[in-house]
Amino acid sequence: MGRIKLEEIDTRAPGALQKEQVKLETAGIISELNELQNLLYAESKHSVLVVLQGMDASGKDGLIRKVFGNLNPQGVMVHSFKVPTAEELGHDFLWRIHKNAPAKGMIQLFNRSHYEDILVTRVHNLCDKETAYKRMRAINDFEWLLAEHNNTTILKFYLHISEKEQSLRLNERLDDKTKQWKYNESDFAEAKLWPEYRKVYEDCFEECNKIPWTIVPADQNWYKEYIVAKKLKDALSALKMRYPGLKKA
Ligand code: AMP
Ligand code: MG
C-alpha cells in the first residue's frame, strides 16, 4: 500500500448516502453489537481494543457516547489519555497504556492512545524523528503482543475532519454553554499546526499499519458513527464466538 495522503481522502460521506437511512442502519447495528458484546463477555476468550485518534474536535467523545453508550457498561471500559503525569513520564511510554489493555471478555476504548507519543510529542519537538521511529517499532511489537497473547482484536480509527469543520466546531465551543468546558486555550494554536499533524499522522499510518488503520470521514457525525459501529460489528462477528454452556463442576 502506498503512503496514505490525508488531503486526498474525503472528510464527508459519499454523496449518494441518505442520512436518515444510514442512521436507521446504525441503530440496527448497535442492537446487534449488544448481542455480540454479551457473547464476548460470556465466552471470555477474546478481547477488543478500539483506538480513537483524531485532531481536536474530531468527535471522539460524541462517538463514544453514541456508539458505545448503549452497550452493557460491565463489558466496556473507556480510558482517556491526557498529558502524561510525572509518574507516567518516569516509565517507558507504553507503561500507562499496557495497564489499560483489555482483559478477555472486555471491550476497551482508548480515547487517544499510545499514538500520542509519536504525534503531539513530535509536533512539539518533545520526541525527535529517530526516537519516534523507534517508538513506532515498539508500538508494532506491543500491538502484536496483545493480539497474539491476549486474543485482542485491535481496531484503530482516525477521525478525519476538515480544517473548516474543525474551525466551526472550535468556534461553537466558545459560544455554546454546554460545550465551553471542552475549550482549551491551546486549541486554536494547535489547529494552526495542521500541516505538521498531517505529516506525523501520515508517517504513523505508514509505519504502524500491520494492524490497519481505518480513516473515517468524520465531518458528519452520523456517517462516522455508522463506519465505526459497522467495523466493530464485522470484527466481532468474525470471531465466531459461542456461548460456553453450563460450567463444568
Ligand atoms: P483532550 O483529549 O481534549 O482531553 O486533551 C488531552 C490532551 O492530552 C491532548 O492535547 C493530547 O494531545 C494530550 N496528550 C495525550 N497523550 C499525550 C502524550 N503522551 N504526550 C503529550 N500530550 C499528550
Ligand atoms: Mg481537547
The pLDDT tens digits of the residues spanning 191-242 come to 999 999 999 999 999 999 999 999 999 999 999 999 999 999 999 999 999 9
Res 2: pLDDT:
82
In this structure, the chain runs to a length of 249
Decide if 208 contacts 4 (C-beta within 8 A).
no
Q: What tens digit of pLDDT does each residue of 64-83 get?
A: 999 999 899 999 999 999 99
Question: For atom 15 of ligand 1, which residue has the closest CA?
Answer: 82
Res 46: pLDDT:
98
Pocket test of ligand 1: the residue of 53, 82, 92 to mutate, having most ligand atoms within 8 Å of its CB, is: 82
Pocket test of ligand 1: the residue of 83, 131, 183, 186 to mutate, having most ligand atoms within 8 Å of its CB, is: 83
Cα of 81 vs centre of ligand 2, distance in Å, is 11
Q: Hey, which CATH number is domain 19-237, 3.20.20.70, 3.40.50.620, 3.30.2350.10, 3.40.50.300? A: 3.40.50.300
Res 136: pLDDT:
98
Residue 80, H or E segment: strand 76-80
| The pLDDT of residue 248 is above 90 | no
> Cα–Cα distances in Å, from 173 out to 60, 188, 219?
15, 11, 16
Burial 170-204 (b: 16+ CB within 10 A, else e): beebeeeeeeeeebeeebeebbeeeeebeebbebb
Cα of 90 vs centre of ligand 1, distance in Å, is 17
Q: What tens digit of pLDDT does each residue of 25-56 get?
A: 999 999 999 999 999 999 999 999 999 999 99
What is the residue extent of each domain of the chain?
A: 19-237
Q: What tens digit of pLDDT does each residue of 119-175 get?
A: 999 999 999 999 999 999 999 999 999 999 999 999 999 999 999 999 999 999 999
| The pLDDT of residue 1 is above 80 | no
Alpha helices in 79-220 (DSSP H): 86-89, 95-98, 120-123, 129-149, 163-175, 187-192, 194-207
Query: Taking CB atoms and a 6 Å cutoff, what residues make up the pocket around ligand 1?
Result: 80-84, 112, 116-117, 120-121
Of ligand 1's listed atoms, the one at least distance from the Cα of 120 is 12
Decide if 142 contacts 98 (C-beta within 8 A).
yes
- Of the chain, the end-to-end C-alpha distance in Å amounts to 51
Task: Note every long-range contact of 23-30, with CB atoms under 8 Å and residues 24 or more positions apart, other chains counting.
Answer: 23/222, 23/226, 25/226, 26/67, 26/222, 26/225, 26/226, 26/229, 26/230, 29/226, 29/229, 29/230, 29/233, 30/67, 30/70, 30/229
Pocket test of ligand 1: the residue of 53, 79, 81 to mutate, having most ligand atoms within 8 Å of its CB, is: 81
Res 247: pLDDT:
85
Q: What residues pair up with 52 in beta bridges, in sequence order?
A: 111, 157
Q: Which ligand is nearest to the CA of 183?
A: 2
Grid coordinates representing 155 are: 481496531
Q: What tens digit of pLDDT does each residue of 100-123 get?
A: 999 999 999 999 999 999 999 999
